[in-house]
Structure 1
């Protein structure tokens, strides 16, 4: 017996164990990974209905562009073939997280699981990822003139560098697969109300005292009113009360002497007759 045989068998068993362990570690279980995310319950249901989860689990590296329950409702009523094609277009055969997406210089075309199915025509099996100068990430079919219909909303979870789940805003439907769903138009632009110019201090002072309310020119408070110029020819004010001023004594004394004289003459005549 060759003494090297036990060693060779041992090495072979070890290699098988390593490869089996590696494959089990890298094996994906997309349904298990999305378990507990209620927002993507309808998306998981479609993965089950189309049996697409089986093809995803066979891959070592994928990026899932997940849709919420509200946004996936628009494709739930379509045919089984159409749903399978659309759902396959949301499985990218490469790993992308937010860090890698932000390193895109402009646009890249990424192969999807729909391309590997052999049913895609032209560029239907590729998704265009575009990074705008603002940093926003958009997705759309790589077909010519196909619109970028979906935007990156958030990173759900990542398992570098095997699995990444990103939430997008709308389903990505390549022309020829089915009716394309376009994002709603932006609301009409409404210019902001213009601000009234700020008033300067001079304007505020002018408004506080308007010409109609401004008082007429008047002497300053506390200043005496100007007195009229005295007339040089006018007599000065009396020095006392006129009633207290005695009458002309010369005129009064003459009249009294005449009266006394007349009275004495009359009395003399009366005595003569007696």
Structure 2
């Protein structure tokens, strides 16, 4: 009786252990069966998401075909990793479970939300069933639901499921700005060869004769600058210097000079006597005749 009761518990324990091993080891093996999803498998390995996925016992991967995923393969490594993490749902969904959904929308938690970097609900997905079809999109307000469920590629119930969607989901805030490549550098002009430098005409010398003659204004300016302007006389120059005081030697020399010079009165007397003599001689000459 006790053995029969322990068998279901043992079976459940083995199932959990087996499921954990499958999740850890066979994520890429599940893609190997579908060559049309080789790009998706390679990107999961390149971004090192496979070891991170293996830490969870319940995972659903939204896979995109090689043709559809080409629209995001040119992104940077960080962008690509963030986008792919939103394609990993921390729950189990397969075709049976999706068909059982009612006509409503549900919110799904993705692997990106566990990083703590999620903003404005970009770590969650919106899954909506409308008119029998299932659509996926970002939970960010205003995001379109353009990625449609196609089929289930692989499923290990309540452990690992890989389902195909029509196109990748790029949530706002996960994709960094992609700048255009810089323009090619402008080629530099080749350096002139020595022969070209030798044959190059030398610049014509400047001829002083051909220089324009200075105008009247220039001559006026030149004359003003060449002729020094007289400085205004100071007050000390206008004051007459005092007359020199005659010394004793100077007085003696002047007295001697005065003695050698005939006085003005004696000169006048001598001149008068000479005139009288001439007058008498004149009258005597008339008397003679």
- 1:84 is matched with 81
**Secondary structure, in 3 states, of the residue corresponding to 1:75?**
coil
Contact persistence 1:107–1:130 (CA under 8 A)? yes
Distance 1:42 1:63 in 2: 18
Cα separation, partners in 2 of 1:35 and 1:117, compared to 1, 3 Å: same
Match of 1:160 among 152, 157, 161: 157
Q: Which has the larger radius of gyration?
A: 2
Cross-structure match for 2:135 = 138
Provide the aligned C-alpha RMSD in A.
2.3
For 1:19 and 1:98, the matched residues in 2 are separated by: 26
Deviations, residues 225-265 of structure 1 (Å, cap 9, x unaligned): xxxxxxxxxxxxxxxxxxxxxxxxxxxxxxxxxxxxxxxxx
In the superposition, the TM-score normalised over structure 2's length comes to: 0.53
Q: Is the 8 A contact 1:173 1:179 kept in 2?
A: no
Pick from 97, 112, 115 the counterpart of residue 114 of structure 1: 112
For normalisation by structure 1, the TM-score amounts to 0.56
**What is the CA-CA distance between 1:22 and the residue it aligns to?**
3.7
Q: How many aligned residue pairs are there?
A: 165
For 1:136 and 1:19, the matched residues in 2 are separated by 36
1:34 aligns with 2:31: yes
Unmatched runs of 5 consecutive residues or more in structure 2: 1-8, 178-289
Flag structure 1 segments of 5+ consecutive residues without an equivalent.
Answer: 1-14, 181-274
Counterparts in 2 of 1:241-260, with a 5 A limit? none
SS at match of 1:122: coil
- Structure number with the higher helix fraction is 2
28-37 or 108-117: which moved more? 28-37
How far apart, in 1, do the equivalents of 2:158 and 2:170 lie?
26
Shift of 1:26: 2.6
Looking at structure 2, the residues matched to 148 and 102 of structure 1 have their Cα atoms a distance apart, in angstroms, of: 18
Look up the match of 1:62: 59
